[in-house]
Amino acid sequence: MKKEWKEQQNGCYTVRTCGWSPPGDHPVGCGMKLHIKDGRLVKVEGDAEHPISQGRLCVRCLSLPEYVHHPQRITHPMKRVGERGENKWQQISWDEAWDIIVEKTNAIKKNYGAESIIVFGGTGREACLYYYPLGFASLGTPNVCYPLSGWSCYGPRCAITDYILGAGYPEIDFAGHFPDRYDNPEYKVPEYIVLWGKMPLMSNPDGFYGHSLIDMMKRGAKIISVDPRINWLSTRAAHRLQLRPGTDTALALGLLHVIINEDLYDHEFVDKWCYGFDELKERVQEYPPERVEEITWVKKEKIVEVARLIAKSKPTAIQWGLAVDENPNGVQLGHAILAISAITGNLDVPGGITLGPPATLLGKWRVETRSELSEELWEKRIGAKEWPALSMALATTHPDETLDTLETGKPYKLRMGWFNSSNFITPTNSAQPDRWYRALKSLEFNVVQDCFMTPTAVAFADIFLPLPTFAEHDGVVITHFGRNAIFVGAMNKAFEVGECKSDIEVCIELGKRLNPEAWPWNSVEEFFDDQLKPELGFDFNDLREMGIYQPGYTYRKHEKGLLRADGEPGFNTVTGKVELSSTLFEMWGEDPLPYYKEPFYSPVSTPELAKEYPLILTTGARTFTSFHSEHRQISTLREITPDPIMEIHPDTAANLGIKEGDWVYMENMFGKAKEKAHLTPTIHPKVVHAAHGWWYPEKPAAEPSLFGVWESNINTLIPHKHIGKLGFGAPFKSILCKVYKTE
Ligand code: SF4
């Protein structure tokens, strides 16, 4: 149905659009109306007609007017005038910025080869989509890097799904694909929803909306929460499995033990569509509930009860989160969780787990731009040879290997960095950011794209290019980057602030100067027309008028030959089946079956160290008021969350002489960070949780302060290259520490 996307109203106008961070979380596409008066955004309200978000918005989007018109925003290109770290800048034109960038890029490519350029991508905005083509097709380098140790966010889940199912992202079925949503006759509400290390009310991740959980709960769905913390949703859960951080894989194997040994699995699905069931059956015998209780702290009776519920309830939907990614044992966890969904018959069924194709639309295009590079250049991608599993699934460098390369100059020296909304010396997407900080100093020329001056920009930018928010440019939002396109939404430019240019505008303008054949489009609209039309049959203007496009959904695609490239029934894996025993893992020298491995540092694996550092630190839970390191300048949001909060059990705090609101240090063998204590019985007495992403825009920008970036930098406690055998998963969710008052 077509509707106006821009309307005049009493001297103002209103633009209907779909959001993409900032502020926000990845391509969620919540619907909103932006009210503009005298060229300024004066109000944001939810769009009640948007079939998914139905008028509901987070406080991050509601405070968008403060964000876009913030006095500290950088809205023109800037050139550094002092030394790096001094925070001295001169405004320049885009033409001058392009001239400097093109001259430096060409010189570096000519003298040292294109591989000496590296593009770092952040998680905010559309960087996730466009930093690949920026590197491959505009700058011409094979090195694009998501600098989080072990690629510990989303990538591991996508890779594991590729290896085991040969499919796109598995998402809980919340009827998002259907225009009539929960009323669609094919849809069924899940009886149980397992939230495994995930709190979607705050995170609204990638293609899922926290409020959909509430919708489904109102329709009868019950929650099983697997989380070391008790959160708002787990207090409303039918079952709560509060496990020891980092032991999730043992729990998943314990559940499989019960499901298989009590013969609760779906025989038909297993016989027809699974490979390696007998081997898995043998493996799970090592994980009886008694042993799993010892490892995880979850009572064996609870393990048995929950396993039976998952298997017997039809359907059950399991949603996995960062517990899989930020865990060196996470590949095995993801494998085991997919195995649970598969053998209980919950894959690609109504109310179970939906599966997308590996990638469509923009998600496919971004990776395919690597065809701009010669094979010889592609083979120089950092870490590709050392980490074949990761590099097969993800078209980036290996993040840990990249830091090693920066530090050692091997196999070659990196000379130019492009930081695409990647503020990674704050505790967001790097482990040991202090090491990155020192290593990045060796780069000779750097470009930073962002909305605000950040610690990373002050420390490293030679040229700063200003990014718009989603309200200031045209674009397309596609959930799960096309790996499970629940819908495609239009982002409509509502107004302009300064001279900001979006990621795709930068790609096109730079591309036209450096590699024009790859960038034939003369406008962003033309570009999106070309992306949409061949696959969906409509252009960008049509999408604007539709607002969002929901493609509908076909269940049980494996039965219909819709998952495999050859059109045959089955899954797009080596064996054509769900690989409960993975042929690829075996090929890469990894155990083909899931197994449990203790965290690198824990009371069990390093008992001596645990005497000095007796608490288990887990980090990274989302809040309503920030997206990683973003939003620290926004006073409404800062009023709600003024300080970084460390959660500690009242008994533990009392033993340490810590009271509510005390500033404390968390310290271990790698680093130390300061946060404010919040005493809460929702956390286990032997565990503390620390907020991530903190820096202080109100503190001095110049070095050594860099907006106070080293004060509460929790990632300094997380070690580099402590990852799984296939290259994934750093221990952000489980490391040892001690806690003490700051004075
Ligand atoms: S999830 Fe929240 S912050 Fe993100 S786009 Fe939707 S309303 Fe905005």
Q: Which pLDDT tens digit goes with each residue over 372-420?
A: 999 999 999 999 999 999 999 999 999 999 999 999 999 999 999 999 9
Q: Which atom of ligand 1 is nearest to the CA of 30?
A: 6
What's the DSSP call for residue 575?
A: S
Return the axis-axis angle of helices 330-343 and 155-164, rounded to nearest 10°. Answer: 50
For residues 610 and 736, is the Cβ–Cβ distance under 8 A? yes
Q: Which atom of ligand 1 is nearest to the CA of 57?
A: 7
Q: Which atom of ligand 1 is nearest to the CA of 19?
A: 5
Residue 125 pLDDT class (50, 70, 90 cuts) = low
Q: Which atom of ligand 1 is nearest to the CA of 204?
A: 1
Rounded distance from Cα 19 to ligand 1 centre (Å): 7
- Exposure on the CB side of residue 296, measured as CA atoms within 13 A: 29
- Exposure on the CB side of residue 734, measured as CA atoms within 13 A: 32
For residues 42 and 52, is the Cβ–Cβ distance under 8 A? no
Please give the Cα distance from 720 to 729 (Å, whole number): 11
Please give the Cα distance from 513 to 520 (Å, whole number): 11
Is there an atom of ligand 1 within 6 Å of 58 CB? yes
Lowest mean per-residue pLDDT among 89-93, 122-126, 320-324, 738-742? 122-126
Residue 25 pLDDT class (50, 70, 90 cuts) = low
Please give the Cα distance from 164 to 389 (Å, whole number): 12
Q: Cα–Cα distances in Å, from 153 out to 245, 321, 326, 388?
A: 17, 9, 7, 18
Is there an atom of ligand 1 within 6 Å of 19 CB? yes
Please give the Cα distance from 137 to 518 (Å, whole number): 6
All domains in the chain, ordered by first residue: 170-355 (3.40.228.10), 607-741 (2.40.40.20)
Which two structure tokens, joined as six digits, stand for 176? 């998002």
Please give the Cα distance from 217 to 448 (Å, whole number): 43
Question: Would you say residue 1 has pLDDT above 70?
Answer: no
Which two structure tokens, joined as six digits, stand for 513? 């100067």
- Type and span of the H or E element at 127: helix 127-133
Please give the Cα distance from 244 to 601 (Å, whole number): 13
Q: What is the mean pLDDT of residues 105-124?
A: 94
Residue nearest to atom 4 of ligand 1 (CA): 24
Q: Where are the beta strands (DSSP E) in 25-122?
A: 31-37, 40-46, 78-80, 89-91, 117-121
CA nearest neighbour of 629 among 542, 695, 551, 561: 695
Q: Which atom of ligand 1 is nearest to the CA of 29?
A: 5
The overall average pLDDT reported for the chain is: 95
Residue nearest to atom 2 of ligand 1 (CA): 58
Q: What percent of the chain stands above pLDDT 70?
A: 99
Please give the Cα distance from 560 to 52 (Å, whole number): 28
Please give the Cα distance from 179 to 332 (Å, whole number): 36
Alpha helices in 19-93, H assignment, sequence order: 59-62, 64-68
Q: Which atom of ligand 1 is nearest to the CA of 60?
A: 3
Rounded distance from Cα 20 to ligand 1 centre (Å): 7
User: Does residue 468 have a cis peptide bond before it, meaning omega lies within 30 degrees of 0?
Assistant: no
Which two structure tokens, joined as six digits, stand for 245? 């951080």
268-313 per-position pLDDT tens digit: 999 999 999 999 999 999 999 999 999 999 999 999 999 999 999 9
Which two structure tokens, joined as six digits, stand for 527? 């570009």
For residues 172 and 210, is the Cβ–Cβ distance under 8 A? no
Is there an atom of ligand 1 within 6 Å of 27 CB? no
List Cβ neighbours of 639 (8 Å cut-off, separation of 6 or more).
none
422-456 per-position pLDDT tens digit: 999 998 889 999 999 999 999 999 999 999 999 99
Which two structure tokens, joined as six digits, stand for 235? 């207090």
As beta bridge partners, residue 43 has 35
Please give the Cα distance from 506 to 494 (Å, whole number): 19
Please give the Cα distance from 485 to 272 (Å, whole number): 27
Q: Which amino acid, 474? A: D
Chain Cα centroid distance, residue 37? 35
Please give the Cα distance from 616 to 734 (Å, whole number): 6
Residue 252 pLDDT class (50, 70, 90 cuts) = very high
Which two structure tokens, joined as six digits, stand for 505? 């505008």
Rounded distance from Cα 65 to ligand 1 centre (Å): 14
Bridge-based pairing state of the strands 239-241 and 222-226: parallel
Please give the Cα distance from 238 to 302 (Å, whole number): 12
637-689 per-position pLDDT tens digit: 999 999 999 999 999 999 999 999 999 999 999 999 999 999 999 999 999 99
Q: What is the mean pLDDT of residues 580-586?
A: 98
Question: Would you say residue 337 has pLDDT above 70?
Answer: yes
Is this structure's pTM higher than 0.95?
Answer: yes
Is there an atom of ligand 1 within 6 Å of 634 CB? no
Chain Cα centroid distance, residue 571? 25
Please give the Cα distance from 286 to 252 (Å, whole number): 12
Question: Would you say residue 119 has pLDDT above 90?
Answer: yes
Asked whether the CA dihedral 730, 732, 736, 737 is positive or negative, the reply is: positive
Is there an atom of ligand 1 within 6 Å of 24 CB? yes
Rounded distance from Cα 55 to ligand 1 centre (Å): 11
Please give the Cα distance from 612 to 609 (Å, whole number): 5
Please give the Cα distance from 609 to 602 (Å, whole number): 8
Is there an atom of ligand 1 within 6 Å of 630 CB? no
Q: What percent of the chain stands above pLDDT 90?
A: 92
For residues 153 and 322, is the Cβ–Cβ distance under 8 A? yes
Bridge-based pairing state of the strands 645-648 and 687-690: antiparallel
For residue 638, the tally of other CB atoms under 10 A from its CB is 17
Best residue among 18, 30, 212, 486 to mutate for probing ligand 1's pocket (most ligand atoms within 8 Å of CB) is 30
Which two structure tokens, joined as six digits, stand for 467? 């990014």
Q: What is the mean pLDDT of residues 726-739?
A: 98
Return the axis-axis angle of helices 248-261 and 277-284, rounded to nearest 10°. Answer: 110
CA nearest neighbour of 684 among 599, 628, 603: 603
Please give the Cα distance from 576 to 598 (Å, whole number): 32
Chain Cα centroid distance, residue 733? 15
